[in-house]
Each structure stands twice: as structure tokens, then as C-alpha cells.
Structure 1
Amino acid sequence: MNNLLYQVDDRPPLVTTVLLAAQHMLAALGGIIAVPLVLGAVLKLPADQIVALVNAALLGSGVVTIIQCKGVGPIGIRLPCVMGTSFAFVGAAISIGFEHGVPGILGSSLAASVVMIVGSFFMPQIRKLFPHTVTAVVVTMIGLSLVPVAVDWAAGGKGAGAHYGDPVNLGIALFVLATVIALVQFGKGIISAAAVVIGMAIGYAGCVALGLVDFSSVQKAAVFALPQPLYFGMSFPVSGILAMAVAYVVTMVETTGTFMALGSATKTKMRGKLLSRGVLCDGVGSAFVAMLGSPPVSTFAQNVGVISLTGVASRHVVALTGVLLAMAGLFPVLGALVVTIPQPVLGGAGLMMFAMIIAAGVQMLSHVEHNKRTGLIIAVSIGCGLAVSVRPELLSKLPAFVHEIFGSGISTGAIIAVLLNLVLPERPVEVDEDEEEDVPQPMLVKNLEPA
């Protein structure tokens, strides 16, 4: 039985669609602008260049989101995917930037995107490396890796310094979390579906009333800004291209896991050809945004949590999110206004969304055949993934390429799970040749009866 409120090809009423699209935008915007802001700060770029990076990231993410959702020929998975700049590329980008500047980062991104474009044609083969046990591990690790991000937001953000964990911050986050829970559980129709954006709006209004919102960035932001392709220029250092190529390979693994989680959330059977279209969009999209002046993009895992929480799987809703992101890139004042949302407000909603991904992963794990082999795969891969998520400094003294590959808990958990699945012997079992494996999909937690 399919319990989605809106299915993949459904078109909700216009007002409902706008609200739901804004919800996805709020979940993704912080992550999209964070990468160019981090790069700008570390490379000590002037303010005008940082603004150009941010605007290009928003516009590029919006355009590629539309293509991923709607599809253009063989490009685009045609599922509700929000695309955005990825932290998987930050390490490589910073190392390239120190030596070759932003032109080196963009040129390396453009050249190395060929790795993902070519790799997309082998996704039917790669899909075979992700049986149900591996997929369940990856989905669980996505949620486990994202929860610490929400916790940091709830505490005030990593840059909060002495105010990190301030009772006021935690109180705001808990208030937003309780509001979202109440709206999901007791709300009907659009109230339940738009619980995240409504909860954040109530929390934001409370912060404004308490004088906790700084509007100075809105006053400084330009109302309109045209895109400036090749604003930074490009260079193509061989070392930079190789570093970015490794980052693209790691991103392919993470993106595959995110697509598998998305398939579970949207009740879509994730076949190899479908993965090929999605990964091809990631590669072509990253080449496009590099020419626009932005770091590479990939599929955002956090928005899978929005779908799991609300039951809204319409790709047309998320395509409108792409339009809103593109508008934020063309009208910086809009992006600046959204950025004024206090971190604890994001944290309260984020904790709920990301925990939903963990719940989906746990439900998938419950359908795994329980034996010594699968127990080892699950335990070791999740343990290794958590090790680098909780203690990222663990890899600090290892070569850079090792950190690039295993720096993310998602990629570490996925790689370990795939390797163990290939290496550990499997007891032969009798399978009916006419029976196609059809793994039960996890139910949406919002539709479960309360305990």
C-alpha cells in the first residue's frame, strides 16, 4: 500500500505547491551557500568575489534542480531531487585554491566532471553493488551523518563560540521541533504536508519578536544581479583535475546512496537506468555550474528527509524549488532574507527531517535477512562510517587522497559495505527463477499509528 500524500507525478494546487517548494528551499539553502562561503573565507577572497560565488551557486543549483526533476532527454532522474553545492568537494577545492586560485578550482571541476559523466553509463553495473543490505546501511548512514549537522544548528552553529549550546538556542530549537511534530501528527492536508515551513515560520517570527534576527545582510544585498559566466576565468592544473576526479568518484558513491534513499521515500524502484540519468545530471550539472562560476553540485540528502516526513514526493514541487533557488541567485536580497533565519530554527526542523532518514534506514534494516554475514556487514560499515563522522580528525595524519575518499561517513560506510558484501562468502540459497526480488519499502513514519 502506498501512503504518499502526493506521488511523484502528482501536481498539487498552486498555493500548496509554492508552500511545499519553499519548504524544500529552506532545507537546502543553508547547505548551498555554505560551500562558497567556506571557500571564500579560507581562501581570503574579497567580498565581491564571495558574493559572485554565492549567486552562481544558487542560480546553478536552481537550474540543475529543474533539469533533475523534469528531465531533458537522457539527463535527469525525474524524481524530487534538490541539487546543491557539495561539501564532498571542499577539501579538494581548498587545496587547489591555495595554489591555483578560484580559476583552478573551476577549471578542475569542469575537466574532472567527465569522470561522473562517463561513470553514469556504468550505473546498471554499479547498481548491482548495492543489494538491499548495502542500501539499508547507506540510507542509515546518511541520516546518522546529517543529525550532527542539525545538532550544531540547534546549538547556535559552529561559529557561535561561547554561545554554542546557549539555553536560548536550545529552547528555540526544541520549540520548533515540538511545533513540527504537532503539525505532522495532528495537522490535516496542507498543514501536515507543510509542517516544516510552517514550524520554521513560527520559530522565525518568535526570534524576530525577541530581537534575535540581524537584518543587516538584507540591507546590504543587491536587489538584482545578472549571472556572470566565466567571471573568475579558468585554469586546468593536472594536480587539481586529479584531486577533483577523486572527489567526483566519492560523490558518485554518495549520490547512489542518496538516490537509493530517495527511491525508498518515493516508493520508486531504483533501477540502473534511472540511476544513470540521475548521475549524468550530476556530472553535466557540475560542468554547467563550473562555467557559471560555482563549485560542483550533487544531490542533497537532507531533502529526502523532507519527503519522508511530509509524504510529498511530487517532482513538480521540487522543480519549483529549483525556480525559487534560481530567483535567489538572480535576486540576492531574497537569499539574504532567508539567510537571516537563526541557526536554532533550522536545527529544530533539521533534527526532525534527518532523524526521519534514520528511521527509514532502520525500517529497511529490519527487512534484511538476519545472519552472521549480514550482521558483520551492517555492524562494521556503520561503525566505520560513524568513526569518521564523530571523529573526523581520525584521518588527519593520513595522505590527502585517503582523507578525500574516507572523509565522509556516508562514503566510508558505503565503501565498506560494498567491499564486505563482495568479499564475505554467501551461503547458497534456493531462489525461484521466476521470482523477482522485491524488497519491502519502508513505511513513512508519519503514517504509522502512534504507540
Structure 2
Amino acid sequence: MADTSIGTPQELRDPNFTPALHKAIPLGIQHVLAMFVSNVTPAIIVAGAAGFGFGSNSPDFPELLYLIQMSMLFAGIATLLQTITIGPVGAALPIVQGTSFAFLPIMIPLVAGKGVDALAALFGGVIIGGVFHALLGTVIGRVRFALPPLVTGLVVTMIGLALVKVGIQYAAGGVPAIGKPEYGSLLNWSAALVVIFSTLGLKFFTRGMLSVSAVLLGLIVGYVYALMMGMITVEAIGTSWDRAATFALPVPFKYGFEFSTAAVIGFCLMAFVSAVETVGDVSGITKGGAGREATDTEIAGATYADGFGSAIAGLFGGFPNTSFSQNVGLIAMTGVMSRHVVTFGAIFLIICGLIPKVGAIIRTVPIEVLGGGVIVMFGMVVAAGISMLSDVVWNRRNMVIFAIALSIGLGLQLEPGAVQYLPDTLRILMTSGLLPAALIAIVLNLILPEELADEATEEVSGGMSGHGSGSLSGD
């Protein structure tokens, strides 16, 4: 229910309304707390996949801090594009941008075990893919037909399934720790479980800010537990703090620029998925906050900001940005539609991104503690995909499309050696699992005749066809 102490019901539904500063600033920071962990996690995962050293004494430590710093800085800048706008770029709505999980299944194979040297090709793909993403703003309304809930739900589910392994590895001790005696130890798992149960308790047994920032607070509880159990020491925290600068500006082309066919194709194809996700978020904001449909101008502006925000981030070593769905729910919950509230949150993110010591503290979080938060976050990605699939009419045609796309996509992800003789570019794209699944689903959805929609499903589903509406409630 909307808080009428902030403004009148009419003002609360107006994106241009600015609440009093003593209320607007806390509301803006609340938006940041809701997305903070999700925003910096991709940088840590990509660094881990590339083989960066995670200790405060590692030579890669400054690089990891920089990636975390850029995640915060350019999430804030991309958010400002959405709220303040520059010409047609931006929706002039309270849209919070952040580093996208969707691109992780593409980024991980690109950098796997290659260290800092792999980042030039990665960010080359981010820049080109971002420009392509922005261009989608001119046609997004005309290509949405090719991405119904069957396709988008499958893709989101595949993103989550591609990442849940990372959460388990982190909870057990981190990918670099595999083969060491402590990997999978009770101590490691206890830290992850503390985070999971703390997050659940805060999410479902508290209200307001405590519930909204449950994952962040759960990580803090896990951090304190790890400190008490000796998994991290005060000395290590002090070393990280001392090694980080107080203030630092982003460096253009810090990691160079390299054209990689696999990276460019991967980022451009995933731009479609990210663009559709943004369309859904914009629609959710206008419906939940203002009780109306999003306009074509708002949808196009949001897509432009998505793309240009990602391209600008790539120039300085930042990852692709997209709208964050958890903040859509926050707007519906608070009833505050003001874009200027989110602007305050964006400024807070930018300040954090210019202070490397913030990233230094984030990096001292033990990988097992982060694993607990990642398990929750990536599990929610899978759940979101399944929720989208609940809108699908599960006739034989749609079941066949889903079955083939999921089988091939997930199968290639689980057994990458099956395509080891393909050229490197194609092999990387295929073993992501996500792109072949999405491509198969899109193509089959466009070419298979709709006449199948009225046929019985029993021979395919083995008598488990369920309800045609796809409802999970059985109504």
C-alpha cells in the first residue's frame, strides 16, 4: 500500500513528482540496497572464472576491485540515463539499472581460465553488443512477437540453470578450491547455510527495509559468522582496505579492445533477451506504479538506455547493464512512482563506484558466504523463468518446442566435450547452452504450424499434460 505521508495519491503516481529530500534519499538508497548484491556478483563470478586470485595479497586483487568498482559506477550512470534522460535515450521512469546475470553464460566460457588477457575480447563484445542493443530500440515493438512467454520463460530458466552450479561451488569453497581438502567441508557449508536461513528469515518474517534488503543483510550476518569462525581475519580486512585507493576514476580501454566473433555474436543475441526483459520491467513499473500501460516512447527510450549504458560501461571495463526486476516490485510495494527518488539512488551508486575502498570491503566477503547469497539469487532466476512459463498454453506444439530446446541447450551445457571439434567461436556459443536453446525455441516457434495447438497432448506427455492454461494453481 502506498505511503500517503510522502505525497497525495495523484503525486505518488506521477514520475515527475519529487518527495521531500528527507524521504526521497532513504527511498532511493532502499532501491540500491535491493539490488546491490546482485549488481556486483557478476564481476566476482567472471573474475573467478577467469582465474583471478581472490586473496588480498594476490597480484590480481587490484583488477578485481576495479571490476567491482565499474559495476557500481556504471549501474549508477545507466540508471541516470533512464531517470534523467538524454534526448530519446531513457524512459523518464524510475528504472534501476544493474549488471545483468543474463550475459554470464556467455561471459564465463569466453574468459574461462584465461586471466586478465581474456578481458579485451570480452569488453569488445560488450561495446559492440551494447550498440546493437541500443539499435533494437528502433524496432523493439515489431520484434516482440518472436519472443512470447514460451521463449522468454525458457531463456530465463536456462540462465538460472546455467548458474546454479556456480552457487554450489562457491558455497563449498569456490571454484579455485576444488581438489583441496577443505572443499565441501562442514565449515564452508555452514557459512553458506547461515546466509540462506538468515535471508529467508528476514524476507518472510520482517517488513519494510529489512525485508527488501534481505539478501544484503543475510550476507552481513554470514560475514559476521565467518569472522567469528576464523574464515576471515581482521588483519585481512585491514590489508584489503589499505591496498585500495580512497578515490579513483575509470580508465578508458583499461583492458584494451579486441574483436572476437564469439563475443560479438553472443552479446548481440543476448541483447534480444535483455531488451524483452526491459520491456517487461517498464510495463511492470507503469502498471504497478501508475496503473497504465507503458507507451511506445517509454519502451524505446528504456531500450536505448539499456544499450548505450552497456556500451559506455564496456569502454571503461564495465559489464552489460539491464533493468532490475526486483526494483519493479519495490515500486509496486511502496507505491512511489517518482523517478527522482531513483535518481538519488543512482548518485549513491556512482559515489560508491568512485571509491575503491567500497569494493575492497566487498571483496573480503568469503566465497562461501557469497555462495549462500548466490544460491538464493540464481534459484530465484530459475523460479522467475518458471513463473513466466506458467503463462504458456501447454499444448503439444509448445511442449515439443520446449522439450527440444531445453534438451539440446542444457545437454550441451552439461557435456561441452560433445562439440569439441567445432571451430572455437561456434564451440563457445554452443556450450553456453543458452544461445542454442533460445535460437531453437525462436525458430521452432516461428515455423511450426499453429494447427498443432488444438491437438491432444497425451501421446507426447505420457498423460501428464495438465491444464491447457499452464496455471500452476490448478484452477
Tell me, yes or no, whether TM beats 0.5.
yes
- Match of residue 129, structure 1, among 127, 146, 150: 146
1:331 aligns with 2:347: no
The 1:274–1:310 alpha-carbon spacing in structure 2 relative to 1, beyond 3 Å, is: closer
- Map of 1:4-19 to 2, 5 A cutoff? 14-15=25-26, 17-19=28-30
Q: Which piece of structure 1 moves more, 181-190 or 8-17?
A: 8-17
- Match of residue 427, structure 2, among 390, 403, 416: 403
1:154 aligns with 2:197: no
> Aligned equivalents of 2:442 and 2:250: distance in 1?
41
Deviations, residues 306-341 of structure 1 (Å, cap 9, x unaligned): 866997687777655544443333111111101111
> Aligned equivalents of 2:194 and 2:252: distance in 1?
43
1:194 aligns with 2:213: yes
> Aligned equivalents of 1:310 and 1:351: distance in 2?
25
SS where residue 176 of structure 2 aligns? helix
- State the AA in 1 paired with 2:40: L
The 1:129–1:28 alpha-carbon spacing in structure 2 relative to 1, beyond 3 Å, is: same
Alpha-carbon distance, 1:294 to partner: 1.2
SS where residue 184 of structure 2 aligns? coil
- State the AA in 2 paired with 1:136: G
Alpha-carbon distance, 1:13 to partner: 5.7
- State the AA in 2 paired with 1:27: S
Alpha-carbon distance, 1:375 to partner: 0.9
Deviations, residues 372-412 of structure 1 (Å, cap 9, x unaligned): 10111222222233223433444443222323433433333
1:82 aligns with 2:101: no
> Aligned equivalents of 1:211 and 1:329: distance in 2?
29
Which residue of structure 1 aligns with residue 8 of structure 2? none
Alpha-carbon distance, 1:71 to partner: 3.9
The 1:156–1:108 alpha-carbon spacing in structure 2 relative to 1, beyond 3 Å, is: closer
- State the AA in 2 paired with 1:22: L
SS where residue 128 of structure 1 aligns? helix
1:59 aligns with 2:73: yes
The 1:51–1:65 alpha-carbon spacing in structure 2 relative to 1, beyond 3 Å, is: same
Alpha-carbon contact 1:21-1:320 (below 8 Å) kept? no
Which residue of structure 2 aligns with residue 144 of structure 1? 161
- Match of residue 249, structure 2, among 212, 219, 226: 226
Alpha-carbon contact 1:69-1:319 (below 8 Å) kept? yes
- State the AA in 1 paired with 2:99: M
Which residue of structure 1 aligns with residue 465 of structure 2? none
1:346 aligns with 2:370: yes
Deviations, residues 218-266 of structure 1 (Å, cap 9, x unaligned): 221111113333556x66x7xx265543133222133135436646876
Which residue of structure 2 aligns with residue 72 of structure 1? 86
- Match of residue 164, structure 1, among 142, 160, 183: 183
Which residue of structure 2 aligns with residue 435 of structure 1? none
- Match of residue 389, structure 2, among 365, 371, 384: 365
Deviations, residues 256-290 of structure 1 (Å, cap 9, x unaligned): 35436646876676887655434432332233234
- Match of residue 116, structure 1, among 133, 138, 148: 133
The 1:343–1:69 alpha-carbon spacing in structure 2 relative to 1, beyond 3 Å, is: farther
SS where residue 73 of structure 1 aligns? coil
Alpha-carbon contact 2:390-2:471 (below 8 Å) kept? no
The 1:355–1:261 alpha-carbon spacing in structure 2 relative to 1, beyond 3 Å, is: farther
- State the AA in 2 paired with 1:229: P
> Aligned equivalents of 1:317 and 1:403: distance in 2?
45
Q: Which piece of structure 1 moves more, 119-128 or 10-19?
A: 10-19
Which residue of structure 2 aligns with residue 206 of structure 1? 225
- State the AA in 2 paired with 1:419: V
Alpha-carbon distance, 1:192 to partner: 1.9
1:377 aligns with 2:391: no
State the percentage of identical aligned residues: 27
The 1:318–1:30 alpha-carbon spacing in structure 2 relative to 1, beyond 3 Å, is: farther
Alpha-carbon contact 1:8-1:80 (below 8 Å) kept? no
Which residue of structure 2 aligns with residue 28 of structure 1? 39
Alpha-carbon contact 1:111-1:241 (below 8 Å) kept? no
Unaligned 5+ runs, structure 1 = 431-439
- State the AA in 2 paired with 1:83: T
The 1:93–1:288 alpha-carbon spacing in structure 2 relative to 1, beyond 3 Å, is: farther
> Aligned equivalents of 1:8 and 1:344: distance in 2?
43
1:284 aligns with 2:308: yes
Which residue of structure 1 aligns with residue 464 of structure 2? none
SS where residue 321 of structure 2 aligns? strand
SS where residue 124 of structure 1 aligns? helix
TM-score normalised per structure 1: 0.76
> Aligned equivalents of 2:421 and 2:65: distance in 1?
34
Alpha-carbon contact 2:401-2:444 (below 8 Å) kept? yes
Alpha-carbon contact 1:62-1:83 (below 8 Å) kept? no
Q: Which piece of structure 1 moves more, 17-26 or 109-118?
A: 109-118
Unaligned 5+ runs, structure 2 = 3-11, 455-468
Larger radius of gyration: 2
SS where residue 287 of structure 1 aligns? helix
Q: Which piece of structure 1 moves more, 140-149 or 66-75?
A: 66-75
Deviations, residues 145-187 of structure 1 (Å, cap 9, x unaligned): 3322322222222122323322112112112111211222221
SS where residue 427 of structure 1 aligns? helix
> Aligned equivalents of 1:200 and 1:144: distance in 2?
22
SS where residue 165 of structure 1 aligns? coil
